[in-house]
Amino acid sequence: MSLKLNINDEVGRLRSVVLGSALSNGPTPKLQDAYDPKSAEHIKAGTYPLEEDMVREMEALADVFERYQVKVYRPEIIKNYNQIFARDIAFVIENKLVIANILEDRSNEIDALDAVIKQVPQEDIIYFPEEAHIEGGDVMPWGEYIFVGTFKDRDYRKYITARTNMIAVDHLQSLFPHKKVVSFSLKKSNFDPRENALHLDCCFQPLGLGKALIHKEGFLIDQEYQWLVDFFGPEHLFHVSKEEMYAMNCNVFSIAPNVVVTEQKFTRLNEWLKNQGFTVEKVPYAEIAKQEGLLRCSTMPLYRD
């Protein structure tokens, strides 16, 4: 029986999801092998997260999914390999599974999803051309729109933190001609995690009930940030500070239009969400945040109502 796929936004009632895994995560990477400035910062400081702590955090999220009767798929374990961030390697738009073009060093991660991919009809799987770089953290289906984070500068190849290029944005538009693909150029830094929006979901996240989270300084072009402000309405936005962005406050995850999973220490955000009428499911995820990813990064939704 084939796997049912249906993703048209970020907030529809979740029925099935791929959740990454921290099992057999491998030793602390060498500094030169870090993929992002925040991981590098923690490697240098000797505070890089321990496998047992990250496993515990991911199981807390799995428990929330179980309570909401969400079907959870996990990757097969590759020994000594980081498989936490399931969002980067693939994503679903409508009934299509898009296999992302990610960093070469991470290319084995997709093999661990074979059991899931084999259940998807071949005609519903999309592969991107080699020169079109894209990661799921930059891609947000939103009704008739697809929001995409990118880096438009000619210096694209200088940044290990630039993960989605304009070739991929154009290719995505050609694949979904009936959608409006809107791209946002993100601020990148190989060295300072407070000046780096690794993916769009590090500085922006649409929620249910007409709300959204946004970090203005994550956008390189003011008009593009302003487009989002106008689209959602300034009164519906929660503005995330630089320190909150660094702690990954934008990277929450919706189970339903009125249910949001967040990190338990996001005090200001959690209070705001509660006041806006959301059910807030709080989990410990601060150790995983040390790798510049959080709840949205570690989940890849397959089916939403």
| Neighbour-count burial of 40, counting CB atoms closer than 10 A to its CB (0-12 exposed, 13-18 middle, 19+ buried) | buried
Residue whose tokens read 């959740």: 19
Which residue from 149, 186, 189, 150 is spatially nearest to 36, judged by alpha carbons? 189
Average pLDDT, the chain: 90
Tens digits of per-residue pLDDT, 157-209? 544 445 688 999 999 999 999 999 999 999 866 656 676 778 999 999 999 99
**3-state DSSP helix/strand/coil % of the chain, to nearest 5:** 35, 25, 40
Terminal CA-to-CA distance of the chain, rounded, Å? 20
Q: Which of the two residues, 162 and 25, has the higher pLDDT score?
A: 25
pLDDT at 303 over 80: yes
DSSP 68: T
Confidence tier at 156 by pLDDT (50, 70, 90): very low
Q: Which domains can be identified in the chain, with CATH numbers?
A: 14-304 (3.75.10.10)
Contact 150, 165 (CB under 8 A): yes
Q: Which two tokens stand for residue 127?
A: 């592969």
Tens digits of per-residue pLDDT, 285-294? 999 988 878 9
Contact 286, 271 (CB under 8 A): no
Give the neighbor-by-neighbor strand order of the sheet with 253-256: 253-256, 259-263, 279-283
Contact 165, 153 (CB under 8 A): no
> Alpha carbon 87 to chain centroid distance?
5
Tens digits of per-residue pLDDT, 33-73? 766 667 777 787 888 888 899 999 999 999 999 999 999 99
Report the distance separating Cα 72 and Cα 83, nearest Å.
15
The pLDDT of residue 299 is 98
β-strand pairing of 212-214 with 237-239: parallel
Tens digits of per-residue pLDDT, 76-104? 998 888 889 899 889 999 999 999 876 56
The pLDDT of residue 228 is 98
Q: Which two tokens stand for residue 270?
A: 């959690």
- Say what the pTM is: 0.92
pLDDT at 155 over 60: no
